[in-house]
Amino acid sequence: MPIAFRQKPGIVAYLTAGDPDLATTRDIALAAIDNGADVIELGVPFSDPLADGPVIQRASERAVARGVRLTDVLGIAQEIRAARPSAGLVLFSYLNPVVRLGMKRLCEEAAAAGVDGVLLTDMIVEEGGEYLEAMRANQLAPIFLAAPTSPDRRLKAIGEASKGFVYAISRVGITGTQTQIAGDAAELVARLRQFTTLPIAVGFGISNAEHVAAVGKFADAAVIGSALVSLIEKSSAGEAPAAVGRFIAGLGVRKLVGAG
């Protein structure tokens, strides 16, 4: 099942779980949802997040130092689901923590926590057999990353394997804010449309209302990560939920007619 977006474009908010602490992550997620985020991506902290830029790397390092583990993130997911039953909820992780826990156990516990989908940044679709089987068995949506450099045959495989939505990377490289959205992003989304009817969310570098409006012209949703994590880094734990709520509310998205 596709993950529903209530706005045009939809907003996917990435948070590094456990930064600054688990309870604050929960409160930030609720504030983001209440101010317009359609989907929360809960990032599992990892000691070597190679795909991420310095902002998210620092957040991950802080959470790892606090002892935050994948099972802790699943616990927070369960709390968010109980508090906001209709919000989209995606677990975002590198493969290593999942291997340690076990793929089957991850999917069972994610489903029990109320997670809608899972995005493993270093899981490639060509090697996703066990992952896809475990996801299907637990009615979870696998979400894959599609890059501007991906050939059409790979985009086709990603489109066929994905559920929920497809995550289109706006540029090659690591996460982090940028001054403008790369032209490659619109071309990539157009290519993906040939192979899937799922919503397509664009991420990597989106950091303000102007970027969100630009993405809304050709994609279904915008993913905001580093800008939120940076805002949290600069705020106290007590101030962070309200600060993130104001940021999301200021993105200027409009609610779709008939959306709940």
pLDDT in tens, the chain (260 residues): 668 898 889 999 999 999 999 999 999 999 999 999 999 999 999 988 777 789 999 999 999 999 999 999 999 999 999 999 999 999 999 999 999 999 999 999 999 999 999 999 999 999 999 999 999 999 999 999 999 999 999 999 999 999 999 999 985 544 444 545 556 899 999 999 999 999 999 998 899 999 999 999 999 999 999 999 999 999 999 999 999 999 999 997 766 544 44
Catalytic residue among 19, 38, 41, 116: 41
* Contacts (Cβ under 8 Å, ≥6 apart) of 165: 2, 3, 117, 141, 143, 198, 199, 200, 201, 220, 221
What's the token pair of residue 76? 């927070």
3-state secondary structure at position 134: helix
Residue-wise DSSP of 44-81: PP-S--TTS-HHHHHHHHHHHHTT--HHHHHHHHHHHH
Cα–Cα distance, 76 to 84 (Å, whole number): 12
Could you state, in order of their start, the residue ranges of all structural domains in the chain?
A: 7-252
Cα–Cα distance, 62 to 51 (Å, whole number): 17
Cα–Cα distance, 191 to 169 (Å, whole number): 13
Please tell me the predicted confidence (pLDDT) of residue 74: 98
108 included as an active-site residue: no
Architecture of the domain delimited by 7-252: Alpha-Beta Barrel (3.20)
Please tell me the predicted confidence (pLDDT) of residue 175: 46
233 included as an active-site residue: no
Question: What stretches of the chain adopt beta strand conformation (E)?
Answer: 7-8, 10-16, 39-43, 88-93, 117-120, 141-142, 145-146, 166-169, 200-203, 221-224, 254-255
Catalytic residue among 27, 52, 72, 79: 52
Please tell me the predicted confidence (pLDDT) of residue 171: 56
